[in-house]
Structure 1
């Protein structure tokens, strides 16, 4: 049961809903697809409001409610908040409101602390994530004696949204943001935003092979699998699952970046924030 939201469909054949402020969450969607090939996937890019790191907490919570409601209305059996900032600000409220599995993101402080040899870990993230109470709680719980050096990265989300994955400007931004972490002795770098995994080759070009780069996408996919199996909602089929994509922003620009990041050219639909008269049938 929910505490005021729309009652979800408890149906293993129903899709998994995923949303992010933009297209960065495709890095998480890709991990889910690899781990759960039979599942149907719904993805919403809230590109009209990207990046969430520049919004106030009330606005982020409002967008998270709208997008979760959109996905639940379309039959989603589980929701993945594929955004560190939205998770930090809104996931507790979403879990209180909707009675279905809701999986969020968080910077991988615990595994990074376990991996570091130098005793210094670096975090690349948005300002919204770094100033959140959730991030402070992770540091308090897991950092221990390890030094955690944080680095906000204005401009990186916009670069990925524009498809500027390997340009001189993107490389220059990464060099600016990585240099303080490496100068501080970080031998492990956490990618604290779902957009950043698309820049991993450039990051490794700068850091070299001796620095461990941690992306949490596969960990989230494993958690999605566990939650579905626990609720007996995992789809059992040998037929590959399908994907549907929506954007609240410029669909033409979004479609071009979607093709580059996802690997083929699925249709990008316009996000209709008016709830449909009835749930989709799956």
Structure 2
């Protein structure tokens, strides 16, 4: 079984890519919604919460654990590998490298949570790949919470508020000539329609503006997960089991996850 962990529903952006690449794999998703958002907590607190969640997933039978949360990966990945040395962990990191290789203006915008931007893991990425670039860090306050309560997609009653919330973070990056945007949180791909709207609005107002590329690391994480899964020569017969657990409200998780994934999602409550 593959375990997928996030503070909330954001990791479902990675889940859907894993399902696409490994449709026969049994999967367990755990959302620690009792403590969401992680992005404004201390690294020590996030590390402790992540270790506890990973222990539960491993005890449940997960042979591979995906930390589908940039903040949790930044805070806890090394500790996880030291604590559970026989379990392969696949973590997240902002896509600084591909953005650095792609940019033409030399300006990269990083959309992330405050805790991710404070982490040593993020600093190491910037040191390795951003030395000759202008990297603009944009803490996106309120984005995680917006996804956690999302009720429908573009055109909904929340549409105008999401346009404002996203535009306030994206527009300043484009104004500074960023031609690549890095999604540094797994919640953020679910705001992609509003990110693209902001880019389109900017380009309409600035006809000679550069094209803008948005980097979502979820497909790369799914590819790495598939590689690890195949290296373990694991397979499943029949219909794969898929479970969804949350430390918050199971009904609330099921409601929002069903909107984000586009199909009914049952969920169960877990007390850790």
Kept in 1, the 8 Å contact 2:46–2:76? The answer is: yes
Taking structure 1 as the reference length, what is the TM-score of the superposition? 0.88
Kept in 2, the 8 Å contact 1:37–1:240? The answer is: no
Aligned to 1:141: 128
Kept in 2, the 8 Å contact 1:125–1:153? The answer is: yes
Secondary structure, aligned partner of 2:29: strand
Q: Distance in 2 between matches of 1:184 and 1:243?
A: 44
Aligned to 1:6: none
Of 87, 99, 110, the match for 2:73: 87
Question: Superposition pairs for residues 258-273 of structure 1, below 5 Å?
Answer: 258-273=257-272
Deviation string for 1:151-186 (max 9, x for gaps)? 000100000000155421111011100111101100
- Is 2:95 the partner of 1:108? yes
Taking structure 2 as the reference length, what is the TM-score of the superposition? 0.91
Kept in 2, the 8 Å contact 1:77–1:233? The answer is: no
What is the total number of aligned residue pairs between the two structures? 257
- Is 2:60 the partner of 1:68? no
Quote the RMSD (CA, aligned, Å): 1.4
Per the TM alignment, residue 255 of structure 1 is displaced from its structure 2 partner at its CA by 1.3
Aligned to 1:198: 190
Aligned to 2:16: 30
Aligned to 1:279: none
Q: Distance in 2 between matches of 1:148 and 1:72?
A: 37
Deviation string for 1:73-114 (max 9, x for gaps)? 110000000000000000100011111110100000000011
Q: Where do 4+ consecutive residues of structure 1 move more than 4 Å?
A: none
Structure 1 gaps of 5+ residues are: 1-14, 274-282
Per the TM alignment, residue 254 of structure 1 is displaced from its structure 2 partner at its CA by 1.4
Per the TM alignment, residue 235 of structure 1 is displaced from its structure 2 partner at its CA by 1.5
Per the TM alignment, residue 29 of structure 1 is displaced from its structure 2 partner at its CA by 0.4
Aligned to 1:12: none
Kept in 2, the 8 Å contact 1:121–1:186? The answer is: yes
Q: Distance in 2 between matches of 1:61 and 1:86?
A: 7
Of 119, 125, 129, the match for 1:132: 119
Secondary structure, aligned partner of 2:111: strand
Greater alpha carbon shift after TM alignment, 84-93 vs 162-171: 162-171
Aligned to 1:216: 217
Of 132, 148, 171, the match for 1:161: 148
Per the TM alignment, residue 236 of structure 1 is displaced from its structure 2 partner at its CA by 5.8
Q: Distance in 2 between matches of 1:196 and 1:28?
A: 11
- Is 2:166 the partner of 1:174? yes
Q: Distance in 2 between matches of 1:27 and 1:70?
A: 22
Kept in 2, the 8 Å contact 1:44–1:246? The answer is: yes
Deviation string for 1:15-42 (max 9, x for gaps)? 1001100000000000111011110110
